[in-house]
Every structure is written in C-alpha cells, then in structure tokens.
C-alpha cells in the first residue's frame, strides 16, 4: 500500500505521464490509497499504471460501482488494482453523474473487466463506451431500471412485524 | 432349454391337499365359508387407488435441483447415511425432470429463475409434487427486495412448506413424510385447478395450450418488482 506521501508522488507521476487534468484528487483513508480520476482519462491512467515500469499494477482485482446519493456526481466506479511485484494495492475511482453516466471501457487492457462492467451497467446504468458486449448480467434481459441505484424502490412485499403492526389495526381478524 | 424341477416345500400330503382344494375351487365345488377361507389365506385385499398411492408414496424420486444454500441441506438429507432418505424410497435422484416426481425448491427463487423453474415443473410428468424448502422459497425470507419472487407458490402449486433458514435435514425429512401422508390420503384441495397445474406438461413437438397462461403467471412478479412498484 503506498502511504500518503507515496500516493502524492504517484499522483504526480501520473499527472506528468498522462495529462495534467487526469488526477482530480487523492484520498488516503483506513490505510487504503485511492486516486480520484477524471472520468474520460480512466483508460489512459489505468493503462499507464499497468504498463509503466515505475507502477507495476498489472492486475485488476475488482471493478465495482457505488451510488453516493446525496453527493454529486452521484455514481462512483471503483477499480481495485493489485501489484504482485510490490505486494501492493491501489484504488482508482471515477465519479460520473446520473445524467451522463459515460466511461471508457478498460476491457482491452484488463479482459476481466468484461463481466464486471456488465454488472455495473446492470445495477447502476453506467455506460462503458467501447465495451464489446454491454448487456445485463444478473437481472432479466427485459428488466426496466437499474436496481442498485439508491433512488430505486426496494421492491418486495410489505411484511407485518411488531414495529409496523399499528399501521394495520386488528389485522388478525 | 433344460427344465429344472425343484421340490415343493412341505410334505407330499400337504401339497396334495392344496392341489385338491384348488381343483375343487376351479370346478365350483368350493363355496361359502370354504371359499372365503381359501381366498383370505392367499390374497391381500386393497382398493386399486390405495395400492397405487401406496406405491407412489414409497417411490418419490426427487429432481436433482438446487437453488441456493438450502440445497446443501437437501443434499445432506438425500446423500448422507445419517439421514438416509432411502428408508422412505426417495433416494433416487433423477437429473431429468421427465423421470422425477418431486421438485424440492431449495433456496431463493429469483425473478430470472422463476420462468425456468416453471418450465422444469411443466416438463415433469404427473403425478408430481413440490416442496418449498426454507423461508426464501416460501416467502422470499430475508431477501424481500426487487430481485426475488416472494413465495414460489405464486407461479406453481406447492404441496408442503418447510420452514427454516435453512431447515435442518430432519425438518426436510419431516416435510417429505408429510408429503407421503398427503399422497396416501390424496386430499385434492383443488389447487391444481387454481394454479392451472394440469395439462401443462410439455411433450415433444406439441405446444401445450396453457403455455401462455403459465408464462404469464411466472412473469407477473417481475412486473410487481419493477420501478413502478410503490416504495415500501
């Protein structure tokens, strides 16, 4: 894990190698380092982190989405990178809005991202530009909506517990 | 072909007496109490439908079909010598729905899986039974959300519900014994008509008439769980 100083140095190297606007910010929380990336630069940053000799993060351990509902931009896409050489992990995060949920795909550099991007598309509605086969992964093909967004209704059926019993008085009759 | 003759057990005189009484019966000489006695000695009487349900109950072949974590407990019931379902004639797992009698819904039923389960149920041949195992299959359990069908009985008839999360193997065994009781007594509760469960079997080449209805039933929960559904 790069420490807070190492993370700043890494961010600086990425800025120099890719573009000045590539890194929006850095976060170091709970011993976990995360780069905040400008969404259109995700592919460039990740391919730099994968291919550069200075940053050998060659393994995409996870790609997942997140919805930070009150905060804007709402959707966050997390890439967890793992470096086998350094025994080191690095998070990369991109934030997109619900109105324009567009990101470049990373399936050409990390083939494992294929299904994981489909999952994020299924549950959060993030469009990955250039993905070879962007279909729903878990929900039925004809499903409407993206159920893991926090403004999506929970669904299911109301169940009578003791805490909501008073809403249906004399239900037992 | 060589014919091998074996000696009939019992003495020669006993055998001769049996032979004579059989001859008498055939001639019509044996009647009244003698005839009753003769028949009672040699026959086990039962009604045909009772004999049929007795045979059915002791040869329930479950479908090898697991949905989620309850399937582990189901496998324990069927596969382990500790529980040993073969005592009740139900240990023969069939992996083809054509040969199976019992569908054990072991786990949560998602709205994507519901049409498939209904199709498997339709492929099974009569007589067939369904056990809904665990809280999830019976009522969506703890997963009361957009992804699951709250209760498998929304799209197929369920005979026995086994509560638990997951139920212990003993509970599932008890459910299967209850199902055996049900088969023996055969209480037609009218649910087959209610769920349009009859006549939905799929045969090669011909589309059953009720296919559309069945599919509608299976898909209706997905509409309930759509984005238009009211927030709880």
- Dump pLDDT digits (tens) for B9-20: 778 888 888 877
Q: In this model, does residue B119 exceed pLDDT 80?
A: yes
Mean pLDDT score across all residues of chain A:
89
- Mean predicted confidence (pLDDT) in B204-220: 50
pLDDT at B226: 44
Instruction: Indicate yes or no: CB of B226 within 8 angstroms of CB of A159.
Output: no
pLDDT at A127: 93
Residues of A in contact with B154 (CB under 8 A): none
Residue in A closest to B229 by C-alpha: A155
Q: In this model, does residue B201 exceed pLDDT 70?
A: no
What percent of chain B lies above the pLDDT cut of 70?
A: 76
- The ipTM, to two decimals, is 0.77
This prediction's pTM: 0.71
The pair of three-digit structure tokens given for residue B230, joined into one six-digit string: 């009211």
User: Checking DSSP bridges between strand B129-133 and strand B160-162, what pairing results, if any?
Assistant: parallel
Check if B226 contacts A (Cβ < 8 Å): yes
Residues of A in contact with B229 (CB under 8 A): 153, 155
Instruction: Indicate yes or no: CB of A156 within 8 angstroms of CB of B146.
Output: yes
Residue in B closest to A158 by C-alpha: B232
Residue in B closest to A153 by C-alpha: B231
Q: In this model, does residue A156 exceed pLDDT 80?
A: no
- Mean predicted confidence (pLDDT) in B188-201: 62
Instruction: Indicate yes or no: CB of A154 within 8 angstroms of CB of B232.
Output: yes
- Mean predicted confidence (pLDDT) in B122-137: 89
User: B137 vs A2, which has greater pLDDT?
Assistant: B137
The pair of three-digit structure tokens given for residue A71, joined into one six-digit string: 């905060």
- Mean predicted confidence (pLDDT) in A74-99: 92
Q: In this model, does residue A85 exceed pLDDT 90?
A: no
Instruction: Indicate yes or no: CB of A156 within 8 angstroms of CB of B227.
Output: no
For chain B, domain boundaries? 62-185
pLDDT band at residue B188 using 50, 70 and 90 as cut-offs = low
The pair of three-digit structure tokens given for residue A121, joined into one six-digit string: 């598309």
Q: Please, is A71 exposed, middle or buried when counting C-beta atoms within 10 Å of its C-beta (0-12, 13-18, 19+)?
A: exposed
- Mean predicted confidence (pLDDT) in B144-163: 88
Instruction: Indicate yes or no: CB of B226 within 8 angstroms of CB of A145.
Output: yes
Which among B111, B144, B231 has the least Cβ separation from residue A157? B144
DSSP-assigned letters across all residues of chain B: -PPPP-PPSS-HHHHHHHHHHHHHHHHT---THHHHHHHHHH-----HHHHHHHHHHTT--BB----STHHHHHHHHHH-TTT-GGGGT----BSSTTT-SEEEEES--BTTTHHHHHHHHHHSPSS-EEEEEHHHHHH-TT--STTB-S-GGGTS--SEEE-SSSPPHHHHHHHHHHHHHHHHH----SHHHHTT-TT---BTTB--TTHHHHHHHHHHHHHHTSTTSPP-
What percent of chain B lies above the pLDDT cut of 90?
A: 24
Residues of B in contact with A139 (CB under 8 A): 112, 147
pLDDT band at residue B202 using 50, 70 and 90 as cut-offs = low
pLDDT at B196: 66
Domains of chain A: 4-167 (3.30.460.80)
> What fold is seen in the domain B62-185?
Rossmann fold (3.40.50)
Q: How do residues A108-139 score in pLDDT, each as one tens digit?
A: 999 999 999 999 999 999 999 999 999 999 99
pLDDT band at residue B26 using 50, 70 and 90 as cut-offs = confident
- Mean predicted confidence (pLDDT) in B127-149: 89
């Amino acid at each position: 894990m790069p420490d807070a100083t190492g993370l700043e140095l890494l961010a600086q190297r990425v800025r120099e190698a890719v573009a000045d606007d590539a890194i929006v910010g850095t976060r170091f929380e709970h011993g976990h380092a995360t780069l905040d990336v400008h969404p259109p630069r995700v592919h460039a940053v990740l391919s730099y982190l994968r291919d550069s000799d200075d940053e050998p993060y060659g393994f995409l351990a996870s790609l997942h989405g997140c919805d930070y509902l009150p905060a804007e931009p709402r959707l966050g896409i997390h890439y967890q990178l793992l470096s086998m050489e350094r025994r080191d992990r690095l998070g990369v995060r991109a934030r997109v809005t619900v109105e324009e949920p567009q990101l470049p795909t990373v399936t050409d550099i990390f083939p494992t991202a294929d299904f994981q991007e489909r999952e994020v598309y299924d549950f959060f509605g993030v469009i990955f530009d250039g993905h070879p086969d962007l279909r729903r992964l878990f929900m039925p093909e004809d499903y409407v909506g993206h159920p893991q967004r926090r403004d999506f209704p929970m669904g299911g059926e109301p169940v009578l517990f003791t805490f909501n019993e008073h809403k249906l008085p004399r239900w037992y009759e | 072909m060589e014919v091998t003759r074996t000696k009939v057990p019992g003495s020669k005189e006993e055998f001769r007496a049996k032979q004579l009484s059989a001859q008498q019966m055939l001639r019509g000489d044996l009647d009244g109490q003698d005839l009753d006695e003769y028949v009672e000695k040699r026959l086990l009487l039962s009604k045909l439908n009772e004999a049929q349900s007795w045979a059915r109950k002791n040869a329930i072949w479950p479908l090898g079909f697991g949905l989620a974590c309850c399937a582990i407990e189901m496998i324990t019931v069927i596969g382990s010598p500790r529980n040993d379902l073969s005592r009740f004639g139900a240990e023969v797992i069939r992996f083809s729905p054509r040969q199976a009698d019992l569908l054990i819904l072991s786990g949560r039923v998602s709205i994507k899986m519901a049409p498939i389960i209904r199709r498997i149920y339709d492929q099974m041949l009569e007589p067939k039974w369904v056990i809904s195992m665990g809280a999830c299959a019976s009522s969506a359990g703890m997963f009361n959300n957009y992804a699951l069908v709250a209760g498998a009985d929304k799209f197929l008839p369920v005979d026995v519900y086994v509560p638990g999360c997951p139920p212990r193997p003993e509970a599932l065994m008890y459910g299967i014994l209850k199902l055996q009781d049900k088969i023996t007594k055969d209480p037609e509760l009218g649910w087959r008509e209610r769920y349009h469960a009859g006549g939905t079997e799929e045969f090669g080449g011909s589309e059953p008439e009720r296919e559309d209805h069945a599919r509608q039933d299976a898909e209706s929960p997905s509409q309930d769980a759509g984005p238009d559904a009211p927030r709880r």
